[in-house]
């Protein structure tokens, strides 16, 4: 049995191959267009941050910090972590660079790789890519609505249909402690019907039980008290206004009282956007494409001032996979109307300069400078659908000329080399 390659990607990591790059570029292009329209400036934070940033910002009892972060210790003794999400790093940058002194709100967006040591499965990787939007400095529910609308617009622009927005409010420090007591009181007599993780969460992070995907935990939570019934007046009004904004924007949403998101920094609004897909047996199922919410306490928690904020992120790998599966995007095939063929070393040397002249003139030219056979090069030009082939041989180099061959007719003409760009432009216009 033949052996495989000696080195392969680490488990859960993947190569973004050339055939996938057009999909990434398509998503990135839509993201940038929407960001530019809504006035979001790009920010890139380091892939390595102080590990304590995520422990403090995301929460030490969250799955990300407990189970999924990649840690490393530097030679100087610093404990760093590869970023598992964008928000904490962007909030750190907001504080570090004094962005509170800028006109508020400050709108930022980012794209790039993130890292989580979770069990690899279909569509999930340990190194993955997201795009992320954040607004700092305003507490209006209009900002929450804008974030939701932008992510919905990006997905619609990518041709997704049957999108569902699920939205909830998880309250704040005023009303959430009371709800936690209600929830724990409900769960305590039912704790042995929960999974092992959720029994542990009862003491550390009971809200996460509402988010558990285990079927037996979902059965228990179905009768649990709902946080929306325990909201304080401020959170209730904020949520009511948010829903009014979503109604006015004609965004399709429904309330999910069990939606809590997996990070400790969230307050008030949380949301996720799902797309309906067909399962293996043709039954409908939903996949989450984007999610986020409000995080009004994070900046202060990380040592800054009391700054309200809201934001969201979406995973690019899952979107790429669905774009392919649903055939929502066809990568463009490069169109080459001109092919440059060369014969011999002198012609190869001359063609290097000519190709650069063509590039500066914005003429799209294909070539095969490693080949010497004219027949092989003409066959490649024909396969690419080139209308004209420029032929540069030894004689042409000596005469400072070049042959322009019209591929469809098989006719050709010799012109001065310094005139070729102008001559090609004329023929392409015809």
Whether 64 contacts 54, CB under 8 Å: yes
What is the DSSP code (8-state) at residue 318?
A: H
Phi and psi angles of residue 21, each rounded to the nearest 5 degrees, phi first = -60, -40
List, for residues 240-284, the tens digit of each pLDDT value: 999 999 999 999 999 998 898 877 889 999 999 999 877 554 556
Residue 178 is labelled as binding a ligand:
no
Tell me how far apart the alpha carbons of residues 376 and 374 are, in angstroms, rounded to a whole number.
5
Q: Which residues pair with 72 in a beta bridge?
A: 80
> What local confidence, expressed as pLDDT, does residue 256 receive?
92
Is 7 a known ligand-binding residue? Answer: no
19 is in an annotated binding site: no
CATH fold, domain 338-429, is Rossmann fold (3.40.50)
pLDDT band at 60 (very low <50, low <70, confident <90, very high): confident
- The closest of 110, 59, 52, 58 to 81, measured between CA atoms, is 52
Residue 4 confidence (pLDDT) above 70: no
Confidence of residue 28 (pLDDT cuts 50, 70, 90): very high
Residue 85 labeled ligand binder: yes
Tens digit of pLDDT for each residue in 108-165?
Answer: 999 999 999 977 666 679 999 999 999 999 999 999 999 999 999 999 999 999 999 9
Highest mean pLDDT among 1-10, 241-250, 330-339, 362-371 belongs to 241-250
Q: Which residues in the chain are classed under CATH 3.40.50.800?
A: 338-429
The dihedrals phi and psi of 273, each to the nearest 5 degrees, come to -115, 125
Report pLDDT for 310. Answer: 97
Residues 110-125: pLDDT tens digits?
999 999 997 766 667 9
Model confidence pLDDT, tens digit, residues 63-89: 788 788 999 999 999 999 999 999 999
87 known ligand binder:
yes
> What's the CATH number of domain 18-175+231-325, 3.55.40.20, 3.40.50.1000, 3.30.930.10, 3.30.70.270?
3.30.930.10
Known binding residue 266? Answer is yes
pLDDT at 279: 58
How open is the CA angle 321-325-330, to the nearest 5 degrees? 90
For 192-207, write each residue's pLDDT tens digit: 889 988 888 888 788 8
Exposure b/e, 282-310, CB count within 10 A at least 16 = b? eeeeeeebbbbbbbbbbbeebebeebbbb
Q: Is 199 annotated as a binding residue?
A: no
pLDDT of residue 230: 92
Q: What number is the average pLDDT over the span 296-302?
A: 94
- Per residue in 406-429, pLDDT (tens digit) is 999 999 999 999 999 999 999 988
* Strand ranges inside 256-397, DSSP E: 267-278, 284-294, 309-315, 338-342, 365-367, 388-392
Does 2 have pLDDT greater than 80? no
Question: What burial class does residue 280 get, using C-beta atoms within 10 Å of its C-beta: 0-12 exposed, 13-18 middle, 19+ buried?
Answer: exposed
Edge to edge, the sheet with strand 253-255 lists: 41-42, 106-115, 127-136, 309-315, 284-294, 267-278, 163-169, 253-255
- Given this model, what pLDDT does residue 85 score? 95
pLDDT at 208 over 90: no
Residues of the chain with CATH 3.30.930.10: 18-175+231-325
What is the reported pLDDT for 377? 92
User: What's the pTM value of the predicted model, to 2 decimals?
Assistant: 0.89
Q: How far apart are CA 212 and CA 280, in angstroms?
A: 23
Does the annotation list 265 as a binding residue?
yes
Average pLDDT over residues 15-19: 93
- CA distance linking residue 275 with residue 35, whole number of Å: 22
pLDDT on residue 91: 97
């Amino acid at each position: 049995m033949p052996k495989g390659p000696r080195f392969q990607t680490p488990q859960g990591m993947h190569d973004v191959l050339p055939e996938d790059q057009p999909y990434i570029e398509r998503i990135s292009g839509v993201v940038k267009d929407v960001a530019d329209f809504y006035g979001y400036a790009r920010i890139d934070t380091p892939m390595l941050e102080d590990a304590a940033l995520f422990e403090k910002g995301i929460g030490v009892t969250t799955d990300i910090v407990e189970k999924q972060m990649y840690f490393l210790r530097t030679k100087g003794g610093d404990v760093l972590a590869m970023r598992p999400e964008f928000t904490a790093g962007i909030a750190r940058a907001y504080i570090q660079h004094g962005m509170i002194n800028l006109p508020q709100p400050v709108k930022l967006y980012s794209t790039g790789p993130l890292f989580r040591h979770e069990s690899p499965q279909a569509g999930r990787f340990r190194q993955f890519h997201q795009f992320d939007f954040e607004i700092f400095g305003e507490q209006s529910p209009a900002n929450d609505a804008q974030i939701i609308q932008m992510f919905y617009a990006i997905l619609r622009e990518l041709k997704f249909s049957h999108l569902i927005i699920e939205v909830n409010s998880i309250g704040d420090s005023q009303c959430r402690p009371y709800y936690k007591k209600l929830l724990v009181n409900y769960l305590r007599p039912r704790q042995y019907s929960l999974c092992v993780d959720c029994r542990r969460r009862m003491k550390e992070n009971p809200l996460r039980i509402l988010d558990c995907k285990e079927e037996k935990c979902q059965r228990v939570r179905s009768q649990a008290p709902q946080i929306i019934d325990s909201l304080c007046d401020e959170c209730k009004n904020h949520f009511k206004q948010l829903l009014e904004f979503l109604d006015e924007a004609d965004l399709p949403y429904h309330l999910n009282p069990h939606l809590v998101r997996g990070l400790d920094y969230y307050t008030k609004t949380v949301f996720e956007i799902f797309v309906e897909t067909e399962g293996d047996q043709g039954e409908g199922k939903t996949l989450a494409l984007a999610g986020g919410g409000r995080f009004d306490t994070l900046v202060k928690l990380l040592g800054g001032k009391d700054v309200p904020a809201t934001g969201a992120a979406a995973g690019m790998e899952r979107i790429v996979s669905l774009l392919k599966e649903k055939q929502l995007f066809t990568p463009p095939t490069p169109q080459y109307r001109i092919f440059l063929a060369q014969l011999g070393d002198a012609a190869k040397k001359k063609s290097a300069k000519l190709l650069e002249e063509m590039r500066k003139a914005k003429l799209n030219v294909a070539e095969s400078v490693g080949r010497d056979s004219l027949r092989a090069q003409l066959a490649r030009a024909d396969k690419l659908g080139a209308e004209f082939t420029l032929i540069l041989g030894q004689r042409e180099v000596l005469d400072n000329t070049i042959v322009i061959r019209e591929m469809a007719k098989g006719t050709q003409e010799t012109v001065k080399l310094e005139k070729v760009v102008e001559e090609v432009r004329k023929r392409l216009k015809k």
